[in-house]
Amino acid sequence: MPRRDTVAVSPVEVDVSSELPFPGRHRLGGRAWVPREVDGTGPLTLLYCLAGGGCTTGYFDLEPPAGLDGYSMARHLAGKGLVVVALDHPGLGRSTPVDDLFQLTPGVVAAAHAAAVADLRRRLDPGSLVVGVGHSMGGMLVDVQQARHRSFDGIAVLGASGAGVPEVLTDAERGAAGRPDAELVALARQRFAPGSRVERRALTHGAFFAPDVPAAARASFAAQRAPLLPTCGLTAMVPGATDADKAAIDVPVLLAFGEHDICTDIDGAANRYASAPTTRFELAGSGHLHNLAGRRTELWDRLATFARSCGPSG
């Protein structure tokens, strides 16, 4: 684990008002983890991290009580010389609240994050690499953002296969791929609005936590939770909902899953990226929440290697 004095942590805010369907000023807020010493022999590499459903940027900087160090992905990667930026999705965490979370479709959220990445790129030296990293629902959003805005030099999609979780959906939801945004918003309201009568079905395979995750580490995960972005969350659950976006991506893609993830078809996930070179990685012993796995640093180190390979000579 890197010493705290080797990594500087600072707040980041970016105005994305023009990308959101709400009046007033809206910012994405989060943090940057910057190594105090950066290797000047190669391009600066920045990882832009998007959290999964019901999570804030705290997922990338978990801090259990003393004695359980080493759960911060952001500090680990900054300790290896990469800059890490994580901004909360609109309406959540450190970002400005919004009037209606249901109106935050994947396209709207991706556009807001694309505006933030464009702002960050203006602050970076020419030749710097920016790699998008998304976990679970955040992986789906990274796909949408890259396909529609070409924000990144490479993307890492963690625990998101595109196959969805059809066993938990209604018939109408299972067939929602390709539907207009208004219909997805309506389906999300039916499922997630207060008083909903949609049956909540349990997953039939996989696990969020591996059995060996300490209780204190689980508590640190619970402490950073936030409301779900309902329309984005539902879209991530619908089989094939973003296949067209995946097919349009042509930068390198790292696909990473836990051994006991809720996503099981790694080859099928890779085949959805018809135009992109893909690298596949399975984290032994891990459930869906890879940053809590006993061997989590193996994924983080693989992510660092992948990110640095996304340049022109990679």
Strand ranges across the sheet with 7-15: 7-15, 27-35, 83-87, 45-50, 129-135, 154-158, 253-258, 278-283
Sign of the CA dihedral running 274, 279, 283, 284: positive
Give domain status of residue 216, yes or no.
yes
Question: In a 3-state reduction of DSSP, which class is residue 27?
Answer: strand
CATH of the domain at 289: 3.40.50.1820
Choose between 57 and 313: higher pLDDT.
57
Q: Of 67, 137, 156, 144, which Cα lies nearest the Cα of 113?
A: 144
Instruction: List, for residues 107-150, the tens digit of each pLDDT value.
Output: 999 999 999 999 999 999 888 999 999 999 999 999 999 999 99
How high is the pLDDT of residue 2? 53
How high is the pLDDT of residue 37? 76
Q: Of 252, 221, 184, 198, which Cα lies nearest the Cα of 68?
A: 221
Q: Of 245, 226, 242, 224, which Cα lies nearest the Cα of 234?
A: 242
pLDDT at 219 over 90: yes
Instruction: List, for residues 10-59, the tens digit of each pLDDT value.
Output: 999 999 999 999 999 999 999 999 998 776 667 899 999 999 999 999 99
Give domain status of residue 215, yes or no.
yes
Give domain status of residue 313, yes or no.
no
Q: Which two tokens stand for residue 253?
A: 């893609």
Number of domains in the chain: 1
How high is the pLDDT of residue 162? 92
Instruction: List, for residues 247-272, the tens digit of each pLDDT value.
Output: 999 999 999 999 999 987 899 999 99
Give domain status of residue 148, yes or no.
yes
User: What gap in Å lies between CA 179 and CA 112, rounded to an integer?
Assistant: 22
Domain of 197 in residue numbering reads as 4-308
- Where are the alpha helices (H) located in 30-136, listed in sequence order? 73-79, 106-123
Give domain status of residue 97, yes or no.
yes
Give domain status of residue 314, yes or no.
no
Give domain status of residue 289, yes or no.
yes
User: What gap in Å lies between CA 130 and CA 132, rounded to an integer?
Assistant: 7
